[in-house]
Amino acid sequence: MNEIERKRLLERVEREGATVGSTIPETITVQGESVDLRESVFEVRSRDTVPQQERERVEQAKKNLRRERLQRKQRLEDDDISYEEGERLAESIVGIDRALDGLEQLDVTDVEGEAERAEAADRRRWMSFLRQVLGRDDDGPRAGLGR
């Protein structure tokens, strides 16, 4: 592949919105292991909430995908490959990006948990404020506030 073709392919994988209309690859080889990528992403995303131990697995999967993306991009940049191979690499990189986008959106699903924690903290602060204003702690009326 010549340098102009290489540059076009690299621009394609770095373009914002490159994943629009693309699909997650059915399977992908990551670090020598075949992964059912599409099924894995849809399985994780189909849940209402993701348990903590599953979140750790998802974070590791995202790291592995980022590493694989980087290796494929470096190969596209540096290796002496045909244009057809470059096209396949570019397509796989965009597919990895699409999968990463899907997995990154999982962070949004924990907004409910974060909102619940914030609401609980607000209730604690409010109760603490009311105890101070009313002159009560957990043991009853506070001394010195005159009753």
For residue 138, pLDDT beyond 50: yes
- The helix (run of H) or strand (run of E) holding residue 29 is strand 28-30
Banded pLDDT at 147 (limits 50, 70, 90): very low
More confident position, 85 or 41: 85
What's at 102, amino acid-wise? G
Q: Is the dihedral of CA 79, 81, 87, 93 positive or negative?
A: negative
CB neighbours of 102 closer than 8 A, spacing ≥ 6?
A: 24, 41, 45
pTM for this structure? 0.64
Give the number of other Cβ atoms within 10 Å of residue 97's Cβ.
19
More confident position, 143 or 127: 127
**In this predicted model, what pLDDT tens digit does every residue of 80-114 receive, in sequence order?**
999 999 999 999 999 889 888 888 776 544 556 66
Total count of residues recorded for the chain = 147
Cα-based torsion angle of the residue sequence 28, 30, 80, 91 in order, rounded to the nearest 10 degrees: 30
